[in-house]
Amino acid sequence: MREISYRDALKEALKEEMERDERVFLLGEDIADPFGSAYKVTLGLSPIFGTDRVIQTPISEQGFTGAAVGAAITGLRPVVEYMYIDFTTMAMDQIANQAAKFHYMSGGQAQVPMVMRTQGGPGRSSAAQHAQSLEAWFHHLPGLLVAMPATPHDAKGLLKTAIRLDDPVMFVEQKLLYNTTGPVPEEEYTIPFGLADVKREGTDCTVVATSMAVLKALKAADLLAAEGISIEVVDPRTLFPLDMETIVESVKKTSRLVVSHEAPERGGFAAEVVAQVSDRAFDYLDAPIQRVCAPSVPPPFARNMEDYVMIDEHKIADRVRKLVQGEI
Amino acid sequence: MNDRKIPEDLTKDQLLAMYRRMRLIRGFEDTAQRLFENGEIGGFLHLSQGQEAVPVGTCTALRPDDYITSTHRGHGDVLAKGCEPKYMFAELYGRTTGYCKGKGGSMHIADFSQGIIGANGIVSGGLPIITGVGLSIKMRGTDQVAVCFFGDGATAEGGFHEALNLASLWQIPVIFVCQNNLYGLSQPFSETAYDCDLAQRARTYHIPGECVDGMDAIAVYRSVKEAVDRARSGGGPTFIEAKTYRFLGHYVGDPALYMPPEERKAWREKDAIAKLGTQLRAWDYLTEEEDEAMAASVQAELEQGVEYARSSPIPAPEEALDDVYVHFDYAGNPR
Ligand SMILES: Cc1ncc(C[n+]2csc(CCOP(=O)(O)OP(=O)(O)O)c2C)c(N)n1
Ligand SMILES: [Mg+2]
């Protein structure tokens, strides 16, 4: 199969959906050519679809999110881009009180088919206002769906689905994933929301990981395999809806669970997985469930401090090793 | 241009200090650019070559106890208010001696001891904050003033409008200084608003608004000085749009394909530093030799600053866990 980048996979999804459905349009800052958006996902789309469908907005996150909500409830299918997930804060009322609530508040009358694409995560010394991982906020909001693809394949399939769904979707990309490559079929495909993917099968411990943490978990799996420890890496792909079946089945098989993400540990998505597993698979567990996440501090600037707080394959492998060897 | 007329409202020393600060800023930015391109420093680097006249003209009208807020493109603003290159370089290197102990980096440099409330990574982030600074000045009954630096791009954010309304409502000693460098990232300002007359927009909030040549430090000074005098004597807020230009791309690494070469060339010819240098020589305030000596001293200060940063201690990685709370450690244990 051909290999393409995460960035190009997303671009293809946008392009195909815009070709398929003329109600789909893009809205965001600096998304038109020649700049083509901060991480270049939309580069090349404005020449094809024109600036009437690749609408570059002033720096006005609250404004363009509200515009997307308004367009969505009146029959269009906007895809907005927040340059950084950190800037969703500027639009929080429109996201949390409007987009997420319209369907419910209107007794099911209104639909809000909009996708909010953004990216988060550390790794480039971007510091406290440009490197956060805020997915847990959105995951907490009834009315929103949250996707977090880790691979080019998942990025494309999930984005196409997100655009076709009639619910608002927070679609969280990761800045260091854009240049990663992987197999993506030429032919049309979509990936349903709420379907986890077992990225690697194993027997000794389950690692549930999201976004960049999936790649780190796969590296940890290689490190541990050399020591004779076999881990199963489960990527939920969408935080909500969440495929607990796949996670629970895996835990039943391995009897151990580590949950990992780049976001700070406190109140993170991992806590939800831990709670649900303890609820549904408590009797199958041979050891306490562990979280490998960032400590609950803002992303620091200095490279060595940032490295210190970021998760990596060694942190995941160390924890799994301790679990499997009965040290926890 | 009336180069022969010697200003009466600025002393020779003040003018020379302005000139030196502008060169210091230019040199700081050029140096930072080189260090970034060499891979010595990381993160984001939004440089302000071309815009020096605005912060320097503005801060010349301020007192040490006055306040400023700044933006992602804040090096020039904080240098103009009094930051020292060596601690700024140390911050860019992520060292413990940096203004923010290596936790902030370029976009978050702050020195509260000099009223420098900080650069800010969020476009328009400083605008609502300045209203609180102004309110606090008013409530504490001092005669300080607060300057909010922000870009043209910020004027499309909700926070801009809310801040202008509050400043007007509360009649607080705030001066809004918009550094209109014609672009917000890749977007020409003219394509982000139907009516680009910002001073007019401010007047709709009943805030006196003025547009000034941001490539002329003396003109900026005069405009801000008038606003400062009004603010100090209880006359409320002022809005100043300074028309300027970012000589380079949005950040280091941006090829700036959206900036027409002719436009860039034309603005380079309006370089505010060259302009003031010419004026100073015309007024016999500066000889050729003094000019060169100044350039050398600026260069030396910057080189020493870089050396200071390079030889400063790297923070222990665990310092990442400090400074999250005042009363607790990051995990919630009382101190
Ligand atoms: C809320 C928010 N939205 C978007 C960005 C990304 N961004 C950083 S600087 C910038 C352009 C700002 O333009 P302007 O205010 O004119 O300042 P300039 O860069 O020209 O100094 C953008 C879009 C941001 N940092 N914060
Ligand atoms: Mg600008």
Atom of ligand 1 nearest to the CA of A87: 1
CATH value of A3-183 in 3.40.50.970, 1.10.15.40, 1.10.10.10, 3.40.50.300: 3.40.50.970
Domains of chain B: 12-321 (3.40.50.970)
- Residues A295-306 pLDDT 10s: 999 999 999 999
Distance (Å) from CA B186 to ligand 2 centroid: 9
Of A58, A298, A305, the CB nearest to B156: A58
Q: Which segments of B72-207 does DSSP mark as H helices, in order? A: 75-81, 85-92, 126-140, 158-170, 198-203
pLDDT for the residue B335: 86
Chain A residues inside the 8 Å CB shell of B184: 58-59
**Which of these is catalytic: A12, A17, A103, A130?**
A130
335 residues of chain B, pLDDT tens digit each: 455 789 999 999 999 999 999 999 999 999 999 999 999 999 999 999 999 999 999 999 999 999 999 999 999 999 999 999 999 999 999 999 999 999 999 999 999 999 999 999 999 999 999 999 999 999 999 999 999 999 999 999 999 999 999 999 999 999 999 999 999 999 999 999 999 999 999 999 999 999 999 999 999 999 999 999 999 999 999 999 999 999 999 999 999 999 999 999 999 999 999 999 999 999 999 999 999 999 999 999 999 999 999 999 999 999 999 999 999 999 999 98
Residues of B with CB under 8 A from a CB of A: 42-44, 91, 94-95, 100, 102-105, 107-108, 120-124, 153-154, 156-159, 184-187, 191-193, 257-258, 314-315, 317-321, 324, 330-331
User: Per the CB < 8 Å rule, is A130 touching B107?
Assistant: yes
Q: Residue B189 in contact with residue B244, Cβ under 8 Å?
A: no
Of B95, B159, B318, the CB nearest to A308: B318
Which of A55, A59, A134, A176 to substitute to test the interface with B, most B CBs within 10 Å? A59
> Is A103 considered catalytic here?
no
Long-range contacts of B323-332 (CB under 8 A, 24+ apart): B323/B101, B323/B103, B324/A296, B324/A297, B324/A298, B330/A295, B330/A296, B330/A297, B331/A295, B331/A296
Residues with CB under 6 A from ligand 1: A 29, 59, 61, 83, 87, 90; B 71-73, 121-123, 151-154, 181, 183-185, 246, 250
**Which of these is catalytic: A61, A81, A173, A262?**
A61
User: Kind of pairing, strands A205-209 and A231-235?
Assistant: parallel
In three-state secondary structure terms, B231 is helix
Name the segment(s) of chain A with CATH classification 3.40.50.970.
3-183
Classify residue A93 by its DSSP letter: I
Chain A residues inside the 8 Å CB shell of B186: 30, 34-35
Contacts (Cβ under 8 Å, ≥6 apart) of B139: none
Report the Cα A11 to chain-centroid distance in Å. 16
Alpha carbons A308 and A300: distance in angstroms, whole number: 9
Name the segment(s) of chain A with CATH classification 3.40.50.920.
197-324
Q: Which residue has the tokens 């160390």?
A: A318
Q: Residue A23 in contact with residue A75, Cβ under 8 Å?
A: yes
- Residues A60-83 pLDDT 10s: 999 999 999 999 999 999 999 999
A62: closest chain B residue by CA: B158
Query: Can you list the residues of chain A whose pLDDT is less than 70?
Result: none
Pick from A136, A152, A157, A171: which is nearest to A26 by CA?
A171
CATH number at A197-324: 3.40.50.920
- Is it true that the peptide bond before A241 is cis, omega within 30 degrees of 0? yes
The ipTM is 0.89
Chain B residues inside the 8 Å CB shell of A86: 121-122
Distance (Å) from CA B186 to ligand 1 centroid: 10
pLDDT for the residue B3: 57
User: Per the CB < 8 Å rule, is B324 touching A59?
Assistant: no
Distance (Å) from CA B71 to ligand 2 centroid: 11
B43: closest chain A residue by CA: A125
Residue A16, judged by CB atoms within 10 A of its CB (0-12, 13-18, 19+), counts as: middle
